Amino acid sequence: MDDLHQLELFQKVNTIPEIQHLLCRKEGLCQIIRKFPELHVPVAFLECPNHHAFSQSKQASDLSQFGRREERTNFAHLWRWWNQTNNAQPHQIPTQLDHKNDFKAQDLSVIIKAYVLVTSLTPLRAFIHSNASVWNSFKRKYFFVKLQTFFEMFFRSSSPQQAFDNMKETISKLLLIAEVLSESSISGPKTFSRCSLCFQMLTFDIGFNTSIYPIVLKVHEHFDLQVGDDLNSQDQIVKQFLLEDAFKFLLPNNSSTSNFFDVLENMHKLSVNKDGNFQKEHEQCLSLAEINSIVDFVKELKNLGHFELLFPSSVPKIQNLLHDLYHMVDPMRRLGSVLTAHWLLSSLLEQFQFRNKEAHTNLVGWNSSLENESIKQRAPFNQTRGSKVLHFFNETKERRCSHDKDTLSHIRQIFTSPHVDLNPKFNPRIREYYFEVPFDMVTVKIGAEPSNCQCQVHLDEKKGPSVANYPLGLGINKISILVTDESQPNPEIVSSYIITVYREDRPSLPLFDDYMVCGFVQDCGSLIQPKEPCGLKPLSPEYFSAISQTQLKTCETGDPKGQWIVPCLSCSDNRTCDWRAITWQPQNCHHAVLTKPELQQCVEGRRILFIGDSTNRGIMYYLIQRVNETLQEWQKTHDVKIYHNINEGKTFISYSYYPRFWLSVKQRPTFEKALEQLLQRSHPLENTDQTVLVVGGVQWLNSNHLQIIQKVLKRENLSNILVVIKSVGMGFHLPVDGIHSLSQTEVQNLWNENMVILDTAKRYGYEVVDTFILTMGRYKEFLQGKCGCHFHEVVKSKTSKENPRVTMKLSMHYALGQYFNSQSKLSQLQDYAMNSQSPYHVRGPINQVYSEILFSRICAHKRKAMGT
């Protein structure tokens, strides 16, 4: 160890003993697991001495991440195979193949050898190579491939980016724990002393099954290529490639002095208040070690090569973990200087990426389209720290902006994350841009910077942010960038830019004669019920035969169990399906789809009242369109709206928007008050099922509202009217600025809340429509709106001559019925969709499905009444 402190400045050595002890040795990993059991560190099947019972529970905990029994079995097989092949003889080593022929959807288990380079343990600086060795455990083959390519291909039917992020998060967690334990006194007497010229090459053996959650099999203290000792010629080339990348990264030729002082100056500005006083937590002077750390980090950021930054990280979860770990081991905050060092690097990273126009393209995050130059700059950004970034923009505008009046209405650059190509190429004088994104891209982060020093940019509204995360509904999305002149007492909008984003539908193939029928309830990208299957699964011939019977009984409720079914060439590849033919199929029954005359007769003489949010409003407009064949007027009403012109004046419809979340709590009417007002505005009302009350929304509804409904109806002598409860639906699941986003756990809790609502409603004698089970598996198919909860939109109609493909596309999307080759009901629903005389029409296949179910429940009561 003493030799490490005698290294010259131009010398570096591949050893960080603390990491080797804690991560690459069984006793070190056992120490981590014993110290932090609550973190559920995903290390596979670790048997720690004298902790047999704990080890068994830990193994069970690790495997529980893989959900279903068959996944746990497969992963146990994977781990046993990995242990066997680690002890294999040279002639038993798997052979290497071209990875293009090696990805198959049915190959359930793979092992990734992720190559990580740690250049500092305290404060942690770690980088991951963009390439990896990927092992196919069942075919016993491996290949060398870009990580991004692997995740996009192997997890293409679920969430490739989330799986990639999960792997990086797992690696970062282990490295942070190693840092914390090496710094804290609780890890025992410090047997290692720090070496500033030391680095550590690591190989993380990461296992994946069909789940997007990884598990760590082993950590090597070098760049490990394959099982066994002998390397063939191809292995030698790959290893040389990795080592050359590492040495170029560790021993750069470029200087970072100018960047260091520029960034340091901006960090100084951010640590000073407007009155010129330092913020208290930053009063200390930088030590020589901290300065060296900053200089080294700037060099690394300028010289990433094939490496990608792993830590410092701007991901809030990782930042919170860092602080939580130090709080657990150091409640007295004796190690506060370490957190200060982390703050320095995080601040430096933030400043560097927005200050340095030559930031390397391997930094994760932003693409920037700049005025007078085309620089693709990628830098991490997260919404919780957006204000700091904007503050940095303001602090450094004198270096980046113009005082020329000709630039007053211009923006200087547009940022996008992930990278997209604007069409046309960015020019400050061009005000409208367009780009398309694939179906699986559900959000985009957009930001802009003004050209003129006295201007600011705002997204969508005059006081909006300059950077924001946007949800992308299917089809067309529009984003406005406003430029305001801040030199006036009341800033004025001087120009605006429009970005149109088109998000594609699911990739789809036309229906062939030779197909198999696949079904699903939930998407693997968002597991609502972790213990249940996800993704497409083949339907058994017996099941398909049962649901295809012409005498299949009519469903007696609006919430029977069921699944989405779709014809595909292969259930293992959702790109081979004809998604235009998808249909919701309940178990052992079918929902009646009413013809236009049947629906008109059903609602004749009835007064139908809707109360709820925009999702309920979508059902109402769809009903008006179905009954009238046209939708003559439409508005996003947030008040009470009355319609007398329905069904040639034979049907009355009223609507009240609830909850009015934009009002203050004191001004906001209660649900009871809003319901009373709707009933009063809809008089006269009969105390029979001729009066229909439809209640529902995205996620505000709960069982207490059902009690209020019962109380109000009893008070108003309307206890015998027909009440239909539309349950909760998917939404608020995307990280969008300006609204509260649900965590995955909160989304999963919606399942239980939904079941309580359905059971309570049926106990009161109300009809129900379960919209949660209909939307949870198709949560990516939302349309415009920040909440990601709208499965309908009202659009202006176009004549068939102008756009015949749109009409056919809509009608085929709305495939309802018992099985795919049944076109009778579909043809009846095409009539209104193709009506070119209607100024507007309601678009959205999922909204149509649960609307038709709701109509069938309303009209089932009408049929019963007529039968008696």
The Cα 248–Cα 299 span in angstroms is 11
Distant-in-sequence contacts of 545-548, Cβ < 8 A, 24+ apart? 546/588, 547/585, 547/588, 547/590, 547/818, 547/819, 548/818, 548/819
Nearest to 481 by CA among 502, 467, 501: 467
pLDDT at 355 over 80: no
Most confident of 129-138, 292-301, 347-356, 696-705: 696-705
Q: Please report which helix (H) or strand (E) contains residue 433, including its range.
A: strand 432-437
pLDDT score for 686: 95
Reply yes or no on whether the pLDDT at 169 is more than 80. yes
Least confident of 26-30, 284-288, 440-444, 466-470: 284-288
**Residues 325-359 as b or e (16 or more Cβ within 10 Å = b):** bbeebbeeeebebbbbbbbbbbbbbbbbbbbbeeb
Nearest to 788 by CA among 416, 392, 442, 397: 442
Q: Which residue has the tokens 């002077």?
A: 285
User: Residue 330 corresponds to which amino acid?
Assistant: D
Residue type at 282 in one-letter notation: H
Instruction: State yes or no: pLDDT of 5 exceeds 90.
Output: no
Whether the pLDDT of residue 37 is over 60: the answer is: yes
Q: Are strands 467-471 and 198-208 parallel, antiparallel or unpaired?
A: unpaired
Q: What per-residue string of b and e applies to 527-537 under the rule 16 or more CB within 10 Å gives b?
A: bbeeeebbbbe
The CATH architecture of the domain made up of 2-250 is 2-Layer Sandwich (3.30)
Task: Find out whether 16 and 200 touch, Cβ atoms under 8 Å.
Answer: yes
d(CA 609, CA 605): 13
**607 to 139, 480, 689: CA distances (angstroms):** 65, 41, 9
For residue 325, pLDDT over 80 is answered with: yes
Distances (CA, A) of 313 to 126, 165, 214: 10, 11, 19
Considering only residues 570 and 397, tell me which one the structure prediction assigns the higher pLDDT: 570
Which residues share a beta bridge with 692?
608, 722
pLDDT-based confidence at 142, cuts 50/70/90? low
Backbone dihedral angles phi then psi of residue 669, each to the nearest 5 degrees:
-70, 145
The number of beta carbons lying within 10 Å of the beta carbon of residue 771 is 30
Calpha distance 68→74 (Å, rounded): 10
Highest mean pLDDT of the ranges 42-56, 330-344, 533-547 = 533-547
pLDDT higher than threshold 70 for residue 178 = yes
Instruction: Give the pLDDT confidence score for residue 851 in this predicted structure.
Output: 94
According to DSSP, residue 734 is labeled: S
Extract the tokens encoding 589: 């029954």
DSSP string, 434-478: EEEE-TT--EEEEEEEESBTTEEEEESSTT--SEEEEE--SEEEE
Most confident of 38-42, 519-523, 665-669, 808-812: 519-523
Q: Does pLDDT of 76 surpass 60?
A: no
Show the tokens assigned to 644. Answer: 């007398």
Q: Is the pLDDT of residue 529 over 70?
A: yes
Q: What is the predicted pLDDT for the residue at 109?
A: 66
Q: For 61-82, what is the mean pLDDT?
A: 47
Q: In the beta sheet, which residues pair with residue 843?
A: 793
- 168 torsion bin: left (phi>0), alpha (psi -120 to 50), beta (else): alpha
Smallest CA-to-CA distance from 721 within 752, 775, 766 is with: 766
Q: Is the pLDDT of residue 256 over 70?
A: no
Separation of alpha carbons 737 and 75, rounded Å: 38
In 525-624, at which residue ranges do the beta strands (DSSP E only) sit?
A: 537-538, 562-568, 583-586, 607-612
- Give the residue with greater pLDDT, 76 vs 782: 782
84 or 585: which leads in pLDDT: 585
Q: Who has greater pLDDT, 310 or 144? A: 310
Task: Map out the domains of the chain as residue ranges.
Answer: 2-250, 365-504, 516-586, 596-791+848-867
Q: What is the pLDDT of residue 630?
A: 82
Is the model's pLDDT at 121 over the cut of 80? Answer: yes
What three-state secondary structure class fits 408?
coil
Specify whether the CB–CB gap between 709 and 680 falls below 8 A: no
Average of per-residue pLDDT across 276-280: 41
If you average pLDDT over each of 602-611, 626-635, 663-672, which comes out highest? 602-611
What average pLDDT does range 829-853 have in this prediction? 76
Q: Which residues are CB-neighbours of 280 under 8 A, at least 6 positions away?
A: none
| pLDDT digits 0-9 by tens, 47-69 | 676 544 344 444 444 444 444 44
Considering only CA atoms, give the Rg of the chain. Answer: 31
700-737: per-residue pLDDT in tens? 999 999 999 999 999 999 999 999 999 999 988 888 87
Residue, of 866 and 189, whose pLDDT is higher: 866
Q: How far apart are CA 162 and CA 155, in angstroms?
A: 9
Give residue 638's identity as a one-letter amino acid code.
Answer: H
Q: 367 pairs with which residues across the strands?
A: 416
**What's the topology of domain 596-791+848-867?**
Rossmann fold (3.40.50)
> Of 24-28, 184-188, 351-355, 789-793, where does mean pLDDT reach its minimum?
184-188
- Residue 233: which pLDDT band, with cuts at 50, 70 and 90? low
Q: SS in 3 state form for 217-261?
A: EEEECCCCCCCCCCCCHHHHHHHHHHHHHHHHHHCCCCCCHHHHH
> In this predicted structure, which of 292-306, 462-476, 776-790 has the lowest mean pLDDT?
292-306
Residue 585 identity: Q
Instruction: Extract the tokens encoding 85.
Output: 């092949």
Percent of the chain with pLDDT over 70: 71
Predicted confidence at residue 565, as pLDDT, reads 92
Out of 151-155, 589-593, 665-669, least confident range: 151-155
Choose the weakest-confidence range: 153-157, 185-189, 684-688: 185-189
Top pLDDT among 325 and 619 is at 619
Whether residue 500 has pLDDT greater than 90: yes
- The strand ranges marked E within 100-140 are 110-120, 125-136
Q: What is the pLDDT of residue 207?
A: 86
* Rounded CA separation 820/826 (Å): 10
The span from the CA of 792 to the CA of 564, in Å, is 18
Residues in a beta bridge with 200: 118
pLDDT at position 772 over 80 = yes
pLDDT band at 806 (very low <50, low <70, confident <90, very high): very low
Q: What is the rounded average pLDDT for all residues in the chain? A: 76
- pLDDT, residue 364, reads 39
pLDDT band at 812 (very low <50, low <70, confident <90, very high): very low
Which residue from 138, 103, 140, 111 is spatially nearest to 206, judged by alpha carbons? 111
Q: In terms of Cα–Cα distance, which of 846, 834, 355 is closest to 582?
A: 846
Query: Mean pLDDT over residues 385-410, rounded?
Result: 58
More confident residue, 644 or 863: 644
Burial of 449 (0-12, 13-18, 19+ CB in 10 A): buried
Degrees (nearest 5) of the Cα angle 154, 80, 88?
Answer: 100
Between 26-35 and 52-64, two packed helices, what is the crossing angle to 10 degrees? 80
**End-to-end distance of the chain based on CA atoms, in angstroms?**
94
Distance CA 540, CA 554 (A): 22
DSSP bridge partners of 205: 113, 218
Please provide residue 91's backbone torsions phi and psi, each rounded to the nearest 5 degrees.
-75, -10
pLDDT-derived band at 800 (thresholds 50, 70, 90) equals very low
What integer is the mean pLDDT of 395-412?
73
The whole-angstrom separation of Cα 516 and Cα 512 is: 10
Q: How confident is the model at residue 230 (pLDDT cuts 50, 70, 90)?
A: low
Going by C-alpha positions, the residue among 843, 821, 826, 813 that lies closest to residue 582 is 813
The encoded tokens of residue 141 equal 């083959």
Q: Which of 294-298, 316-320, 474-478, 607-611 has the lowest mean pLDDT?
A: 316-320
pLDDT-based confidence at residue 287 (cuts at 50, 70, 90): confident
Kindly report the pTM of this predicted structure: 0.56
As a whole number of angstroms, the distance between CA 169 and CA 742 comes to 20
Is residue 86 very low, low, confident or very high in pLDDT (cuts 50, 70, 90)?
low
Q: What is the 3-state secondary structure (H, E, C) of 831-847?
A: HHHCCCCCCEEEECHHH
Whether pLDDT at 825 is above 70? no
Longest dimension (CA), the chain: 99
The DSSP output letter for 554 is B
pLDDT band at residue 521 under the 50/70/90 scheme: very high
